[in-house]
């Protein structure tokens, strides 16, 4: 692990024009680390070969997620702050989906040497602001920097189960209530708007047009670029008896299918619970809500609303998703098929 303590003394530079190539790796880290939040669980932070984190119940939850310029984001649409925020939010959501409280992150960033240092400062600020807003006490305990043609963020997040069993995808039982904390469909609409209207006449992502969209469709664009997953709902659901749970990252139908497949059941959505745009609710990706199942006699925890019911199906139909009893086909995003190679 590269650490700020490795930083040699560096001469003063003009902050406005500095690039990563103007500074040493250590000096860049020395600029970033003070902007990052300290984790309450940090026993040893940046400055050595590795960090040491507290795991009070003798276990820790871990997840990792990459965001790469091109397939995962475009710099014309997302500010550095947006990217830092989203990289934290998506990982925090995976931790919360186990019923755990997020405790710490490590962050690996690769960027072209020509990148202004201010871009990395913006990423750090986004990481910090997301942790402070969604998971107070969670902080960044270490990281690594490298060079690459495509800006790349890799966040690994940790969580504390606080003595509870993790909430798996496999625990849903027929009769359970299917419920969601979070929004449905806005992020998918935001992405569709950006690809349709946030581009110039050649289809290239365009800053001015994206900014216009942020004014005309603030909810949808923000849901896509700076999601606010209901992190606190994860531990609340676990305490409230959730039998299964996951982060809705690829669309409600696909992710519900994952719970259903892992649990050996089907899930039937009640169309009256899916709003006026049912296909959008079922298909929109990157919602980052928490989808959970609860025994039928349980009162749903705060922030969760009923969407449907877990149903018994034959083994050949495990994972089946229906709406009012009618079969629903699942699509989905795949980075190797869905990316057109562009990175603007």
Site for a second copy, residues 34 to 93, rule: CB under 8 A: 43-44, 47-68, 70-72, 93
| CB-CB contact of 34 with 124 (8 Å) | no
Q: Which residues pair with 308 in a beta bridge?
A: 178, 269
Cα dihedral 41, 46, 51, 56 in deg (nearest 10) = -10
Strand partners, 267: 310, 321
Query: In angstroms, what is the minimal distance from the CB of 69 to a second copy?
Result: 8
Q: How far is the CB of 48 from a second copy (least distance, A)?
A: 5
72 HSE (CA, 13 A, CB side): 17
CB 4 within 8 A of CB 46: yes
99 among the known binding-site residues?
A: no
Min dist CB 287 to a second copy, Å, is 14
**Measured distance CA(33)–CA(272) in Å, rounded:** 48
Minimum distance between the CB of residue 292 and a second copy, rounded to whole angstroms?
A: 12
Nearer to a second copy, 136 or 166 (CB): 166
Residue 49 or 276: the one with the smaller Cβ distance to a second copy is: 49
134 binds a second copy (CB under 8 A): no
- Please identify, using beta-carbon distances, which residue of 46 and 213 lies nearer to a second copy: 46
Q: Are 20 and 117 in contact (CB under 8 A)?
A: yes
Q: Which range of residues in 79-87, 132-140, 186-194, 243-251 is near a second copy by CB under 8 A? A: 243-251
Residues 262-291 that bind a second copy (CB under 8 A): 262
158-177 binders of a second copy (CB under 8 A):
158-159, 161, 166, 168-169
Question: Could you give the angle at the alpha carbon of 147 between the alpha carbons of 146 and 153, nearest 5°?
Answer: 65
Q: Exposed, middle or buried, 198 (CB in 10 Å: 0-12/13-18/19+)?
A: buried
Is 113 or 302 the residue whose CB approaches a second copy more closely? 113
User: Footprint of a second copy on residues 314-343 (CB under 8 A)?
Assistant: 334-337, 339, 343
User: Which residue numbers belong to the known binding site?
Assistant: 49, 63-65, 72, 94, 143-144, 169, 247, 249-250, 286, 333
């Amino acid at each position: 692990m590269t650490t700020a303590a490795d930083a040699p003394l560096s001469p003063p530079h003009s902050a406005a024009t500095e690039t990563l190539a103007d500074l040493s790796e250590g000096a860049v880290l020395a600029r970033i680390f003070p902007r990052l939040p300290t984790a309450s669980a940090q026993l040893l932070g940046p400055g050595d070969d590795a960090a040491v984190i507290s795991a009070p119940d003798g276990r820790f939850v871990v997840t990792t997620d990459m965001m790469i310029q091109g397939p995962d984001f475009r710099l014309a649409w997302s500010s550095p702050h947006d990217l830092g925020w989203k990289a934290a939010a998506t990982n925090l959501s995976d931790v919360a989906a186990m019923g755990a409280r997020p405790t710490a992150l490590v962050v690996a960033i690769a960027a072209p040497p020509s990148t202004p240092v201010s871009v990395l400062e913006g990423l750090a600020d986004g990481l910090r602001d997301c942790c402070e807003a969604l998971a107070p006490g969670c902080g960044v305990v270490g990281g690594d920097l490298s060079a690459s043609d495509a800006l790349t963020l890799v966040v690994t997040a940790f969580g504390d189960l606080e003595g509870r069993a993790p909430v798996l995808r496999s625990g849903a039982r027929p009769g359970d209530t299917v419920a969601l904390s979070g929004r449905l469909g806005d992020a998918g609409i935001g992405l569709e708007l950006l690809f349709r209207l946030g581009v110039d006449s050649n289809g290239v992502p365009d800053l001015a047009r994206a900014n216009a969209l942020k004014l005309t469709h603030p909810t949808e664009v923000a849901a896509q670029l700076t999601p606010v997953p209901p992190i606190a709902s994860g531990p609340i659901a676990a305490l409230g008896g959730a039998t299964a749970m996951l982060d809705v990252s690829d669309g409600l139908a696909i992710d519900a299918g994952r719970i259903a497949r892992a649990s050996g059941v089907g899930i039937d959505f009640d169309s009256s619970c899916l709003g006026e745009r049912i296909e959008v609710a079922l298909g929109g990706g990157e919602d980052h809500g928490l989808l959970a199942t609860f025994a039928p006699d349980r009162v749903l925890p705060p922030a969760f609303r009923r969407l449907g019911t877990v149903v018994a199906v034959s083994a050949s139909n495990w994972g089946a998703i229906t709406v009012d009893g009618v079969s629903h086909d699942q699509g989905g995003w795949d980075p190797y098929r869905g990316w057109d190679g562009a990175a603007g």
